[in-house]
Amino acid sequence: MPRAWWDFSQCPPDELSFCTAYEYLRTIALIHRERLKIKFPRFKWTPDVLAEAFKGYFRDGKRVEFSGINEGAADPFEINLAVKQIFALAACQCTGFPDAPYLSIQAEERKAWIKTFGFDQLRTDRPTMAQKDFFTIFLDPRKALPFYQHHIIEWQKQNLTASPDPRDKIPRMLVDYDKFQFELGVIRINWSLNNKQLVKAFEKWLRENRPKNTPVFETRGAAKLSESLKYLSAMRLLTEMTAVQAYNHTEKLLGKPLYWSDDNWYEARDKAKSVMKQIFSPFADWA
């Protein structure tokens, strides 16, 4: 197996997010392409194969048609999917995809994608809502309600038949989106106060009004992108050699093995499959 297929140690830090998405998607695409070739001997790979898969996504065990993101309101599920779609379609338009390893692509081409879409700022293995969708403030109240029609409709679906929490004097209008909870409200700010006073007041409000028993999304224990690439290295190497051989092979080329024990090698391989599903759930059944 060529070294570029499993050694990602030379990947620039600001390219780790795109590299991870590219290499995991490449793995899925290669598997899927071979399956299609068996069914259709004249099959040729095109980006349309991925575009077709992104026309829908799974929610609550059911496939939902993806309407896309525009200037109007957008379901947070679709925001998450839109980010994955951007990563995927950029990856499959790179020169040589899916055969070319990420680091074999010209640096200028890689950096052009990263600069255009900000791939150094987002991670596809974490929900988009946990990375940037913290809160939104509309200074023009007239625009708020039209933009959040999806939230109001979803709240009606989730809460019309639900029993309110008896501890709340006023029932909270919380909406669940993929294990995240959102709430709409109206904010009135006294700009005559300084920032320190406003922050202190908001912290007090937050302590008193944060919904009870709301799960908190933690990122501290999430694997680093470089670790996710190591998982993929293990998975690829173990397709052609045993754990002992992979240990010796990587120690010879890198100066130390990627993983020390057989159990660590096989555990990393299993983690790679999990990361693959996290990043590109629309293709979970492809690999």
Q: Find tokens 């933690």 and name the residue.
A: 218
Residue 101 is assigned to a structural domain of this protein: yes
What is the structure's pLDDT at 43? 74
Residue 179 is assigned to a structural domain of this protein: no
What is the structure's pLDDT at 72? 45
Residue 44 is assigned to a structural domain of this protein: yes
Q: How far is CA 74 from CA 13, 66, 126, in A?
A: 32, 10, 19
Residue 274 is assigned to a structural domain of this protein: yes
Question: 0.75 cut: is pTM over it?
Answer: no
Residue 160 is assigned to a structural domain of this protein: no
Give, for all 287 residues of the chain, the pLDDT tens digit. 899 999 999 999 999 989 998 999 899 888 888 887 888 888 777 777 766 666 655 555 555 565 554 444 445 556 666 777 788 888 888 999 999 999 999 999 999 999 888 888 777 766 655 566 556 676 776 777 776 676 677 677 766 555 555 555 666 667 776 567 778 777 888 999 999 999 999 999 888 888 877 777 655 545 688 999 999 999 999 999 999 999 999 999 999 999 999 999 999 999 998 888 777 765 655 55
What is the structure's pLDDT at 131? 64
Which DSSP category does 54 fall into?
Answer: T
What is the structure's pLDDT at 40? 80
Task: Supply φ then ψ for residue 116, to 5 degrees.
Answer: -65, -45
For 88, the domain range is 3-131+223-283
Residue 151 is assigned to a structural domain of this protein: no
What is the structure's pLDDT at 208? 87
CB hemisphere CA count around 70 (13 angstroms)? 4
Residue 33 is assigned to a structural domain of this protein: yes
How open is the CA angle 116-120-125, to the nearest 5 degrees?
A: 115
Q: Which two tokens stand for residue 282?
A: 């629309």
Residue 155 is assigned to a structural domain of this protein: no
Domains: count for the chain:
1
Q: How far is CA 226 from CA 58, 64, 232, in A?
A: 28, 33, 10
